[in-house]
Amino acid sequence: MTDFLTQTLGYPRIGKDRELKRALEAYWKGTGDADQLLTTFRQVAEEGWRAQLAAGIDRVGVGSATLYDQMLDWSIRFGLIPERFSALKGLDRYFAMARGEPGIPALEMTKWFDTNYHYLVPEIDAGVTPEADYGDFLDLVERAQRILGARAVPIIVGPVTLLFLARRSTDFELTLQALLPLYLSLLNRLSDMGVEEVQFHEPALVLSEAGELRPYFESAYMALSGSGLAINLVSYFDDLGESYPWVSALPVSILSLDFTRGDTLSLIGTHGWPEDKVLGAGIVDGRSVWRINPVQMTELVEALREVVGGRDRLRIGASSSLQFVPYTAGRERELPEPLRGVLAFAEEKLEELRAIATGDLQGRGEIWTDFYAFAPADASVQARVSRLEAGDFTRSLPYGDRRPLQVPLPLFPTTTIGSFPQTAQVRRLRAQYRRGELTRETYEAGIDALTAYAVGVQDGLGLDMLVHGEFERTDMVEYFAEKLTGFAFTRHGWVQSFGSRYVRPPIIYGDVARPSAMTVREFAVAQALTEKPVKGMLTGPVTILNWSYPRTDIPKQEIAFQIALALRDEIADLEEAGARAIQVDEPALREGLPLKRERWDAYMTWATDAFRLTTALASPATQVHTHMCYSEFGDILEAIERLDADVISIENARSDDATLRQLGAYGYPREVGPGVYDIHSPVVPTADFIEAKLRSFLHHVTADRLWVNPDCGLKTRAWKEVIPSLRNMMEAVERLRRELIREAG
Ligand code: GLN
Ligand code: ZN
C-alpha cells in the first residue's frame, strides 16, 4: 500500500528567533540596509522550506513568505497601487503602503477572516490599470525550487478573494477581466520554470457571500484552467456550505478543503466527490496547537478515502497555512511534560502529516491520557458558571439613569486607549525582572516611576480621563493570562499579528480562575498621583479567549464565562480601590464572528453575554468603557449595543470613518470615542487635522456623546511622537470647546 501524498499551504515566516522582525526594524531605523533585510527574509523562507523538505512533505506551499503582508505583496504584483503612492518606488513604496508616510496614509488594515492576523486591504482606484510586476515572486519560487525541486508549489492569492477583500471604486467584473490575463501570464512564467502545480488560495469561498461571487469564480477558474498547470483551489477556515456543489464542479484538478472547522465531511457525503478531482484534505489543524487524536484521525482518513473513492484521490494536508502557530513545541522545555507532550506547532504538525499519510499513529493516544490526568480542573469555577442567572448579566440601572451618577466630565472628554510607549527602558526592566535580576520592590519601583511619568504627561497636557500606561504588561492578553490559573506560556511561541508585530498567544489548558487581584496595584499608584479619574484597564473575556489557543474539547462559551467571572471580581476590587471608570477592551470581539451568517447569532449571544457578565455587577456609578479596533464593525452593531457599555472607543483613522458612520446611522445610543489619529503611523497629526476630524465626527454623533482619543494604544510609538500628537489633540478640542462656549454665550 502506498502512502498518501502530503501538502502544506504556508509556513511560519518570521524566523524562529524573530529574525525578520529585527531585520525590519533595523531597516526602518536606518541601522540596517535593504540587502541585509532581503538576506534575512530569504534565509527565513529557506529555513521553512528545508524544514518541510526534511519532514518529507510532498507538495510544499511556497510564497507565504512576506516582508510585511501577502495581500500587500499581491496588490503590488498586480499594480494595484493607489495614486498617493505613485511617486514612490521599491521598498519605499512597499513600506509606505504598509505603514504610511508623512501626508500619505497607509492602506487600511483589518483582520484576516476570523484570525488574529491583520492584512493590508488592497485599494483599487478607478484610475488604476493593473499591470504585472511579479519578479520578486518568480525569484522566490526559483529559490524554493533549488531546495525543494518539484515539491515546490507556488501559493497565489486567488483573484476573487483579492477583489472581494479589496476596497474598490471599480466594477468587480471589469477588474477581474483586467486581472485574469496577468494571472495567466504569471502561470505561463511559472510553467516555463518547470512548475507543474500551483495553489490558488480563495478563502472567500467559505463566506456566506460566496454564492453571490459564483459567476466570478466560474469565469475566473475557467480562464485559469487554460494555463495547463494543475490548479489546487484552496479554501480554509470553514466548510463550503451551500457553495459546495458548484465549487466542486469548478475546472480545477485539486480541491483543498478544511476538515477542522464546519462539516466538510458531511457535505461530501451528501453531494458526493467529483470524479475528476483530488481532495487536499486539511485535517491537521493549522490554527490549534494540539496534537491529533489518533483514533479520530484514523476514522476520518478511512471515511475520506471511502468518500473520494480511492487512495490516489486523497492528499493529507494542513487545514490552513501554519503561520498561525509557532515554529516548534519541542523547544518549550519549560512546559510541564504532560502538556508539552500534547502540543503540536508547525514542525510537529509536519511530522503528524507524515505519520497520518503513512498510517503510523501507534502510541499517540497515551500522551492524551497523561494530559487529562495533569490538566487542572476546578470544581468551584465550574459550579459558579453553572449557577449563573439572568441577573448576573444585567446592570442594575439603564444607561439614562446611571449616567448622571457617573464621573462628571467636560464637553468632548479627552482620553487615551491605555498603553503608553513601551520604551527600551521598560522592556529591559521587565526582562531583568523575569530573569530574576531585580527584586520585586526594585522592579515595581521602576514601573511606578514610568507610571508617574505617564500620569504627569497626561495631567500636564490636560487630558480629562487618564490611564496608568500599562508599563507592567508585555501584552494585553499575556499579562492577564499569567495572573490566572489554567493558562500556560511558551517562551519562543511567537506568531505574526501584522507586519513586524508578533504575539505569543497563551495556551488555555485547564479551568480559569483568579487567585488574586491583577491590576489594582498599578491602578492605585496612578490614581494616587492625580485628581483626574484614572481608568481601570482590563482585557475582555472574548479577547483573552480569542487571542489564546484554547482547549478544543471545552466549549468556548464555558471558557469565556470562566474568564468573565475572574474579571468581574477584578472590577469589584478596582471599584474598592476607587476606580470611577473601567475599560474592558474587546478588540477581538468581531474577529471571532463565524464566517457563516447562520452561526453569527449563537456566537454573538455568548460573546456579548461574556462581556455583560464581566461588567454587569459594576456599580451604576462606575463608567464602563470598551474599546475595539481594526475590524469591520458594521456587522455587529447590535452586538456592540448589547454590550451596554457606557463609552466605546473605536479605531477609525484606517477605516475612513466607516465604523463611526455605521454607528451614527444605526443610532448608537451611548458615548463614542472615534480615534482622531492613526497610531500605527509615525506621523504627528496637526491640530488642524484633528479639528477637521472632530468636525466630521459631529455629523454622526451628537456633541454631548463625543469622546476624543487616539485610535488605539500608544505602546508602539515613541514619547517624542506621543506628546506632540496629544498636545495637538488637546489644542483641537480646546478650539471646539471655545467655539461652543462663544456660540452659547
Ligand atoms: N488598552 C490596550 C492598549 O492601549 C488596547 C490595545 C488594543 O486595542 N489592541 O494597548
Ligand atoms: Zn485597539
Do 316 and 450 fall into the same domain? no
Do 276 and 423 fall into the same domain? no
φ/ψ of 593, rounded to 5, equals -60, 125
DSSP 681: S
- pLDDT (0 to 100) of residue 472: 97
Do 361 and 439 fall into the same domain? no
Amino acid at 503: V
Task: Tell me which H or E stretch contains 672.
Answer: strand 671-674
User: Distance from the CA of 628 to the center of ligand 2, in angstroms?
Assistant: 5
Pick from 649, 717, 709, 656: which is nearest to 105 by CA? 656
Question: Has residue 545 got a pLDDT over 70?
Answer: yes
Alpha-carbon span 476 to 480, nearest angstrom: 7
Alpha-carbon span 200 to 156, nearest angstrom: 5
- Three-state secondary structure call for residue 218: helix
- pLDDT (0 to 100) of residue 659: 81
The arithmetic mean of pLDDT across residues 4-26, rounded, is 98
DSSP β-bridge partners for residue 675: 709
Alpha-carbon span 250 to 20, nearest angstrom: 38
Q: Look at ligand 1, atom 10, and give the residue with the nearest C-alpha.
A: 713
User: Distance from the CA of 650 to the center of ligand 1, in angstroms?
Assistant: 11
Q: Is 637 left (phi over 0), alpha (psi -120 to 50) or beta?
A: alpha
Give the Cβ contact number of residue 599 at 10 Å: 15
Do 444 and 353 fall into the same domain? no
> Would residue 381 count as lying in a domain?
no
- Three-state secondary structure call for residue 207: coil
Number of domains in the chain: 2
- pLDDT (0 to 100) of residue 1: 54
Mutate to test the pocket of ligand 1, among 479, 627, 711 (most ligand atoms within 8 A of CB): 627
Do 365 and 416 fall into the same domain? no
Please, what is the average pLDDT of the chain?
Answer: 96
Binning pLDDT at 50, 70 and 90, where does residue 432 land? very high
Amino acid at 597: R
Question: Has residue 357 got a pLDDT over 70?
Answer: yes
pTM: 0.92
> Would residue 549 count as lying in a domain?
yes
Q: How do beta strands 535-539 and 581-585 pair?
A: parallel
Do 137 and 239 fall into the same domain? yes
Q: Can you give the CATH number for the domain in which 520 is found?
A: 3.20.20.210
Q: Look at ligand 1, atom 3, and give the residue with the nearest C-alpha.
A: 713
- pLDDT (0 to 100) of residue 633: 84
- pLDDT (0 to 100) of residue 444: 98
The arithmetic mean of pLDDT across residues 142-165, rounded, is 98
DSSP β-bridge partners for residue 357: none
Greatest Cα-to-Cα distance within the chain, rounded to the nearest angstrom: 90
Amino acid at 580: R
- Percent of the chain, pLDDT > 90? 92
User: Distance from the CA of 419 to the center of ligand 1, in angstroms?
Assistant: 6
pLDDT in tens, 588-620: 999 899 999 999 999 999 999 999 999 999 999
CA 357 to mean position of chain CA atoms:
31
Do 339 and 452 fall into the same domain? no
- pLDDT (0 to 100) of residue 654: 66
The arithmetic mean of pLDDT across residues 308-326, rounded, is 95
Do 63 and 183 fall into the same domain? yes
- pLDDT (0 to 100) of residue 743: 84
Question: Has residue 86 got a pLDDT over 80?
Answer: yes
- Percent of the chain, pLDDT > 70? 99
375 burial (CB, 10 Å; 0-12 / 13-18 / 19+) is middle
- pLDDT (0 to 100) of residue 730: 98
Mutate to test the pocket of ligand 1, among 118, 468, 472, 476 (most ligand atoms within 8 A of CB): 476
Ligand 1 closest atom vs CA 417: 4
Binning pLDDT at 50, 70 and 90, where does residue 451 land? very high
The arithmetic mean of pLDDT across residues 486-505, rounded, is 96
Compute the half-sphere exposure of residue 615: CA atoms within 13 Å on the CB side of its CA. 33
Do 477 and 610 fall into the same domain? yes
The arithmetic mean of pLDDT across residues 171-182, rounded, is 97
Residues 289 and 344 sit within 8 Å (Cβ to Cβ)? yes
> 396 is written with which cell numbers?
442594575
> Would residue 350 count as lying in a domain?
yes
Do 329 and 457 fall into the same domain? no
Total residues found in the chain within this entry: 745
Alpha-carbon span 238 to 261, nearest angstrom: 5
Alpha-carbon span 458 to 447, nearest angstrom: 17
- In terms of residue numbers, what domain contains 195? 5-81+121-374
Do 360 and 425 fall into the same domain? no
The arithmetic mean of pLDDT across residues 37-65, rounded, is 98
Question: Has residue 2 got a pLDDT over 90?
Answer: no
Q: Look at ligand 1, atom 1, and give the residue with the nearest C-alpha.
A: 418
Residues 481 and 487 sit within 8 Å (Cβ to Cβ)? yes
Residues 719 and 423 sit within 8 Å (Cβ to Cβ)? yes
Please enumerate in sequence order all residues whose Cβ is within 8 A of that of 58, keeping only pairs 6 or more positions apart, or say none: 5, 6, 7, 151, 315
User: Distance from the CA of 671 to the center of ligand 2, in angstroms?
Assistant: 17
End of a domain among 318, 350, 374? 374
> Would residue 399 count as lying in a domain?
no
Q: What residues have their beta carbon closer than 5 A to ion ligand 2?
A: 587, 629, 712
Alpha-carbon span 330 to 345, nearest angstrom: 9
Residues 339 and 374 sit within 8 Å (Cβ to Cβ)? yes
> Would residue 93 count as lying in a domain?
no
Pocket of ligand 1 (CB under 6 A): 417-419, 470, 476, 537, 585, 587, 627, 629, 712-713, 715
- pLDDT (0 to 100) of residue 738: 95
> Would residue 444 count as lying in a domain?
yes
Query: What stretches of 55-171 show up as alpha helix (H) in DSSP?
Result: 70-77, 90-99, 135-148, 159-165
> 627 is written with which cell numbers?
474599546
Residues 39 and 19 sit within 8 Å (Cβ to Cβ)? no
Question: Has residue 67 got a pLDDT over 60?
Answer: yes
The arithmetic mean of pLDDT across residues 157-180, rounded, is 97
Pick from 431, 646, 427: which is nearest to 533 by CA? 646
End of a domain among 346, 374, 402? 374
> Would residue 529 count as lying in a domain?
yes
- Three-state secondary structure call for residue 607: helix
pLDDT in tens, 382-413: 999 999 999 999 999 999 999 999 999 999 99
> Would residue 111 count as lying in a domain?
no
DSSP β-bridge partners for residue 501: 498
Do 370 and 455 fall into the same domain? no
- pLDDT (0 to 100) of residue 718: 96
680 in active site: yes
Residues 303 and 264 sit within 8 Å (Cβ to Cβ)? no
Structure-derived torsion over alpha carbons of residues 58, 307, 289, 515, reported in degrees to the nearest 10:
180
Ligand 1 closest atom vs CA 715: 10
Compute the half-sphere exposure of residue 132: CA atoms within 13 Å on the CB side of its CA. 15
User: Distance from the CA of 99 to the center of ligand 2, in angstroms?
Assistant: 16
Alpha-carbon span 617 to 393, nearest angstrom: 8
Catalytic residue among 118, 627, 680, 700: 680
